[in-house]
Amino acid sequence: MAPPSHCHTINGVAPPPRNGAIAVETTTTSPAAQSARLLDADEFRRLGYQVVDFIADYYAGLGDYPVHPSVTPGFLRRQLPADAPTRPEPDAFAAALRDVRDLILPGLTHWQSPRHFAHFPASSSTVGALGEALAAGINVVPFTWAASPAATELEMVVVDWLGRALHLPDRLLFSGGGGGTILGTSCEAILCALVAARDRKLAEIGARRIGDLVVYCSDQTHFAVRKAARIAGIPRENFREIPTHRHDTFALSPPALHAAMQRDADAGLVPLFLCATVGTTQTTAVDPIRDLCAVASRHGGVWVHVDAAYAGSALVCPEFRDTIAGAEDVDSVSMNAHKWLLANNDCCAMWVRSPSALVAALGTEQEYILKDAAAEGHDVVDYKDWGATLTRRFRALKVWLVLRCHGVEGLRAHVRSHVAMAAGFEAMVRADARFEVVAPRRFALVCFRLRPPLPDGEKAANELNRRLLEEVNAASAGPYMSSAMVGGVYMLRCAVGSTLTEERHVREAWNVVQERATSILLRKRG
Amino acid sequence: MAPPSHCHTINGVAPPPRNGAIAVETTTTSPAAQSARLLDADEFRRLGYQVVDFIADYYAGLGDYPVHPSVTPGFLRRQLPADAPTRPEPDAFAAALRDVRDLILPGLTHWQSPRHFAHFPASSSTVGALGEALAAGINVVPFTWAASPAATELEMVVVDWLGRALHLPDRLLFSGGGGGTILGTSCEAILCALVAARDRKLAEIGARRIGDLVVYCSDQTHFAVRKAARIAGIPRENFREIPTHRHDTFALSPPALHAAMQRDADAGLVPLFLCATVGTTQTTAVDPIRDLCAVASRHGGVWVHVDAAYAGSALVCPEFRDTIAGAEDVDSVSMNAHKWLLANNDCCAMWVRSPSALVAALGTEQEYILKDAAAEGHDVVDYKDWGATLTRRFRALKVWLVLRCHGVEGLRAHVRSHVAMAAGFEAMVRADARFEVVAPRRFALVCFRLRPPLPDGEKAANELNRRLLEEVNAASAGPYMSSAMVGGVYMLRCAVGSTLTEERHVREAWNVVQERATSILLRKRG
């Protein structure tokens, strides 16, 4: 084994625009003194202030970083030693913070940049970040009620608060006989719902028929569902992605779903699980929940899950309530509060109508017993039986802090400001005849492109728009957007949702798009 | 819907011993001003200092809280309003912090208390907590390399650093053609390994044979493995928990494993996956890796995973290296750095010999293609294909900070200090003829009990020790321990590992045990 290197040199990384703005205090604490003070209150205070200052400085200068770094694979690995230090260097914490500033920050994609319009936002706030910090400081492990009673009960309270704030049907909340939990990600939520559905169905038809179960979604559904189905042992050939169409706003068609389920049933297979999406990843399409539930109910016992990872946050506004109409009949819903509701990564709330099905599949009980905590008069739960993991973090704390400190009206104002900015962007796109909006804007995502140069020029249009995105993202002080390919159409995605984004950033982003388009079209003609 | 309550009253919760020691600053920021400053640098600094002070005060007074609160189910839910506030109350953040202090902290189990000897520790440190805070502040989503290059590369560096520090075989590291990742929990790590093993095997024998696959472990293995097997669709009747015995230190017996695999193979079933444990949950037993791998290799293609959730941290000390002897032949290893290595919850490192098997099972690739990043000359990975979730947190940052700021020697000193304290506790148990140490102490857990009152008094001994634990834990300023029931023997578990624990806490804990034992034995006689 190579001798460990004790110091970390920094070579060849361009400093960020204003990295001098992030100050890192240097002191002369000896390594021995450091290791004697692993959890000392004064040491925590001293280093904690440094971290708070570091983050505050980062926020102050965030708009000046290129959103996406121009680095090549291996840029960081090449600069770090092969081994951890044997002993810490003097004042190692300050040295490490300097490396974060000079070495790591310049190599990150800055999800919180006001010019980050790619993917969906990583929604953040002072309160969300500090809620995470507080939970990390308190560091409890609420896997059962007894393992940290207040953490479990706060989670129960907060999921009901959030569910009501999002206008979810009462039967999904503890107050209505259902219940919720806060997991890390939608992947986990969908996996848990699917496993609960699977075991409920197999208890009915026999465990050996796992190979006959079929999972349904649309071709717009997030890969998370396919991943969950694979993990749960659903055969890959039993995964149905029903095609959607542009004329139908890329929503899942109930008749097409019915036909697929009928075909499978006729072939001796067993329709198991439907994942409907409110706000698809590519274009924020909304699947028609009520009609899909009606189809599912015709194929007895199909579990309907609603993935509202992104748009779930918008449900806090009554004007978006219609997008989840019919949710009284679904079995489970999940949404990522870390996407648009000021709760920093990670934070996925999930609600289920029948907690007993979750617990039967994931709990320590070995038998399939229908047993609702509420039905038994318990008023607490052991959350280890509600998720894929036993160890869990105290995520409820940050959600509670966000709701306390901003209130439901504050969250509405937050969502509405982004929707308004996206509407502004959409209006600018529509005002330029060279462009078109490709999918209806429902929330704060605008899908647009340069129109095809010729009526049958779809392929050329895709090429053109691909180049446009490349050039837009190459402008180092410009916006960072992503793309989608839906129904054969390549489009640019401008997702407004970063907490720091203001109208001027949206206007500037559009200016860059226009300029780049003009330049590309000129070159094309020339 | 009931009108939301705007303020949160606190009734009927006894204040913690020194809650006055946690100061919460009150200011007069208006709600409107708050919502306009969701991610403002100055506001972050102001509130961030409050949180740092709050946590520092909490650490200073932590020893004074009862480790486990005496609360009854519903105590917190009853005190909180049914709905989130519509608008924040004045200075909501300070009000919420006060509620954390007065309402939530008194209802938590304090995992970081120096008198927490239950379960396994939730290892924490200033650097670990601040690493979490920093990651939450930076708030990136490193699901692919491109989505945050530096975060991905730091993770690759750090898992190799950690793996080498823990004396893992090179073939499990990136440097040796394998590779690692940092997930949240062992549950996720084991699930991912199992799914990779399953899909590799099914690619060989046909997807329809999922019902023939068998998973093996011992009756001491953590429930995480059963949970993972269920999630992965392994039939419940194909889960083998091989019995262990006290005379064999509760380790998994290779001949017994071989017999079980042979029986299954003879019955037409397919041995798939073995989870061996280094440091079992109940008694820290160590399964003999080398001999178990030899058995597994006789049943071609059985994936061997080593769950070193707790004891993995001890591998940082060369003197514990023998506990993982033979690991060159395993397929994967996981350990929780949040259990004993100063990385706050959650933090599970996993290493695999064949990343391509993971990616084939969990990645966006739809075909089973053997494709190693290294083999293709790539020097980066897309970590979304290495775990059960797509969204992930920047956990590598805290692990890197811990390694930087403490060095490998610092971590060794940390582990050794707990091992020494546990050895001290063990010596005290052995010096009292009324007690016995029930399972060999290998790391920092001591399993002990009052000896049976009569030679055949096992049942009475269990009753006696159950009462002993109850009374030990009832002492409000006393230690908090947990129990195990292994081979029909009920025992108390004293797990030394809280960062704040000092020798005096261990001595005091033993004094309480002795006193309670004396009192119980007296009453029994009386």
In the numeric block, the tokens 């929707």 are attached to: A419
Dist CA A251 CA A289 (whole Å): 10
Selected residue of A231, A350, A400, A408 to mutate for chain B interface (largest B Cβ count, 10 A) = A231
Structural Rg of chain A based on CA atoms: 25
Dist CA A97 CA A91 (whole Å): 10
Task: Sheet with B303-307: list strands edge to edge.
Answer: B179-183, B348-352, B332-336, B303-307, B270-277, B213-218, B239-242
Residues 6+ apart with CB under 8 A from B513: B468, B472, B479, B492
Whether A51 sits inside 8 A of B393 (CB atoms) is no
Dist CA B215 CA B271 (whole Å): 7
Q: Nearest 5°: CA angle at A206, between B360 and A234?
A: 15
Q: A307 forms bridges with which residues in the sheet?
A: A277, A334
Cβ atoms B67, B115 nearer than 8 A:
yes
The pLDDT value given to residue A525: 79
Nearest partner of A306 among A282, A324, A318, judged by Cα: A324
Whether A71 sits inside 8 A of B43 (CB atoms) is no
- Residue A430 sits at the chain B interface (C-beta within 8 Å): no
Residue-wise pLDDT for B27-37, tens only, equals 554 444 444 47
The pLDDT value given to residue B15: 41
Nearest partner of A421 among A429, A410, A432, judged by Cα: A429
How large is the ipTM?
Answer: 0.93
Residues 6+ apart with CB under 8 A from A315: A166, A167, A168, A278, A308, A321, A323, A324, A335
Give B 221-280 residues with CB within 8 A of chain A.
222-224, 227, 230-237
Residue-wise pLDDT for B501-525, tens only, equals 999 999 999 999 999 999 999 998 7
The amino acid sitting at B329 is D
What is the pTM (predicted TM-score) of this model?
0.94
Average pLDDT for B159-166: 98
Whether B47 sits inside 8 A of A126 (CB atoms) is yes
* Long-range contacts at A518-523 (CB < 8 A, ≥ 24 apart): A519/A471, A520/A464, A520/A467, A520/A468, A520/A471, A521/A434, A521/A450
Whether B133 sits inside 8 A of A136 (CB atoms) is yes
Dist CA A174 CA B317 (whole Å): 48
Task: Give the end-to-end CA distance of chain A in Å, rounded to a whole number.
Answer: 60
Closest Cβ opposite residue B345 in set A40, A139, A165: A139
Whether B51 sits inside 8 A of A148 (CB atoms) is no
User: What proportion of chain B, given as a percentage, has pLDDT over 70?
Assistant: 91
Nearest chain A alpha carbon to B193 = A231
- A213-218/A179-183 β-pairing: unpaired
Alpha-carbon gap: A352 to the closest alpha carbon of chain B (Å) = 18
In the numeric block, the tokens 């941290």 are attached to: B313
3-state SS, A370-416, equals: CCCCCCCCCCCCCHHHCCCCCCCCCCHHHHHHHHHHHHHHHHHHHHH
Dist CA B121 CA B119 (whole Å): 7
DSSP B116-154: B-SSS-----HHHHHHHHHHHHH----SSTTT-HHHHHH
Helix orientation angle between B223-231 and A186-205, rounded to the nearest 10 degrees = 80
How is chain A split among helix, strand and coil, in percent rounded to 5? 50, 10, 40
Structure tokens at A51: 């971290």
Helix orientation angle between B126-138 and A41-61, rounded to the nearest 10 degrees = 10
Cβ atoms A144, A371 nearer than 8 A:
no
Cβ atoms B139, B160 nearer than 8 A:
no
- Residue B134 sits at the chain A interface (C-beta within 8 Å): yes
* C-alpha atoms less than 13 angstroms from C-alpha of A115 in its C-beta half-sphere: 26
DSSP B286-348: B--HHHHHHHHHHTSS-EEEEE-TTGGGGGGSGGGGGGGTTGGG-SEEEEEHHHHSSPPSS-E
Closest Cβ opposite residue B129 in set A37, A136, A405: A136
Structure tokens at A378: 């318990």
> Confidence class of residue B26 from pLDDT cuts 50, 70 and 90?
low
The pLDDT value given to residue B123: 92
Residues from chain A that touch B114, judged by Cβ atoms under 8 A, are none
Closest Cβ opposite residue B187 in set A125, A346, A389: A389
- Residue A70 sits at the chain B interface (C-beta within 8 Å): no
- Residue B397 sits at the chain A interface (C-beta within 8 Å): yes
Nearest chain B alpha carbon to A226 = B364
Between A455 and B345, the higher pLDDT residue = B345
Cβ atoms A122, B139 nearer than 8 A:
yes
The pLDDT value given to residue B475: 86
The pLDDT value given to residue A380: 77
Dist CA B148 CA B160 (whole Å): 19
Sign of CA dihedral A352, A355, A359, A360: negative
Alpha-carbon gap: B162 to the closest alpha carbon of chain A (Å) = 7
Helix orientation angle between B186-205 and A223-231, rounded to the nearest 10 degrees = 80
The pLDDT value given to residue A199: 97
User: Which helix (H) or strand (E) is A272 found in, with range?
Assistant: strand A270-277
**Whether residue B372 has pLDDT greater than 50:** no
- Residue B194 sits at the chain A interface (C-beta within 8 Å): no
Q: Nearest 5°: CA angle at B93, between B91 and B94?
A: 75
* C-alpha atoms less than 13 angstroms from C-alpha of B462 in its C-beta half-sphere: 10
Whether A136 sits inside 8 A of B344 (CB atoms) is yes
Task: Sheet with B445-450: list strands edge to edge.
Answer: B435-439, B445-450, B489-495, B482-486
Residues from chain B that touch A25, judged by Cβ atoms under 8 A, are none
Burial class (CB in 10 A: 0-12, 13-18, 19+), A366: exposed
Whether A42 sits inside 8 A of B56 (CB atoms) is yes
**Could you give the 3-state DSSP secondary structure of residue B466?**
helix
Give B 327-366 residues with CB within 8 A of chain A.
336, 338, 342, 344-346, 348, 361-362, 364, 366
Dist CA A357 CA A354 (whole Å): 6
Alpha-carbon gap: A125 to the closest alpha carbon of chain B (Å) = 5
Whether B380 sits inside 8 A of A148 (CB atoms) is no
Residue-wise pLDDT for B33-57, tens only, equals 444 479 999 999 999 999 999 999 9
Closest Cβ opposite residue B499 in set A38, A71, A413: A38
Dist CA A417 CA A403 (whole Å): 18
> Confidence class of residue B7 from pLDDT cuts 50, 70 and 90?
very low
The pLDDT value given to residue A443: 98
In the numeric block, the tokens 């698809």 are attached to: A280
Residue-wise pLDDT for B108-133, tens only, equals 999 999 999 999 999 999 999 999 99
- Residue B205 sits at the chain A interface (C-beta within 8 Å): no
Helix orientation angle between B355-362 and A223-231, rounded to the nearest 10 degrees = 110
Dist CA B59 CA A84 (whole Å): 28
Whether A147 sits inside 8 A of B232 (CB atoms) is no
Give A 26-45 residues with CB within 8 A of chain B.
31, 34-35, 37-45
Query: Any idea which of A14-23, A473-482, B301-310, B432-441 has the lowest mean pLDDT?
Result: A14-23
Torsion angle in degrees (nearest 10) through CA of A48, A49, A50, A51: 50
Whether A76 sits inside 8 A of B149 (CB atoms) is yes
Structure tokens at A498: 């970063």
Dist CA A370 CA B267 (whole Å): 33
**Could you give the 3-state DSSP secondary structure of residue A447?**
strand
Closest Cβ opposite residue B191 in set A4, A224, A388: A388
Residues from chain B that touch A211, judged by Cβ atoms under 8 A, are 207-208, 210-211
The pLDDT value given to residue B378: 54
Residue-wise pLDDT for B233-275, tens only, equals 999 999 999 999 999 999 999 999 999 999 999 999 999 999 9
Neighbours of B467 (CB within 10 A): 16
Nearest partner of B350 among B121, B220, B148, B174, judged by Cα: B174
Cα separations in angstroms, A181 against A163, A333, A351, A358, B206: 11, 11, 7, 11, 37
Dist CA A119 CA A495 (whole Å): 7
Sign of CA dihedral A160, A165, A167, A168: negative
Nearest chain A alpha carbon to B31 = A406
Nearest partner of B274 among B283, B291, B336, judged by Cα: B291
Whether A104 sits inside 8 A of B147 (CB atoms) is no
Structure tokens at B388: 């059960």
Dist CA A71 CA A104 (whole Å): 11
Nearest chain A alpha carbon to B114 = A39
Q: What is the pLDDT along chain A (526 residues), one digit of tens a residue?
A: 333 333 333 333 334 444 447 877 665 544 444 444 799 999 999 999 999 999 999 999 999 999 999 999 999 999 999 999 999 999 999 999 999 999 999 999 999 999 999 999 999 999 999 999 999 999 999 999 999 999 999 999 999 999 999 999 999 999 999 999 999 999 999 999 999 999 999 999 999 999 999 999 999 999 999 999 999 999 999 999 999 999 999 999 999 999 999 999 999 999 999 999 999 999 999 999 999 999 999 998 899 999 999 999 999 999 999 999 999 999 999 999 999 999 999 999 999 999 999 999 999 854 333 343 444 455 779 999 999 999 999 999 999 999 999 999 999 999 999 999 999 999 999 999 999 999 999 999 999 999 998 888 999 999 999 999 999 999 888 999 999 999 999 999 999 999 999 999 999 999 999 999 999 999 987 6
**Cis-peptide, bond into residue B432, ω within 30° of zero:** no
Closest Cβ opposite residue B149 in set A107, A139, A400: A107
Q: A274 forms bridges with which residues in the sheet?
A: A216, A304
Alpha-carbon gap: B489 to the closest alpha carbon of chain A (Å) = 21
Q: Which domains does chain A have, with CATH numbers?
A: 19-108 (1.20.1340.10), 130-403 (3.40.640.10), 410-525 (3.90.1150.10)
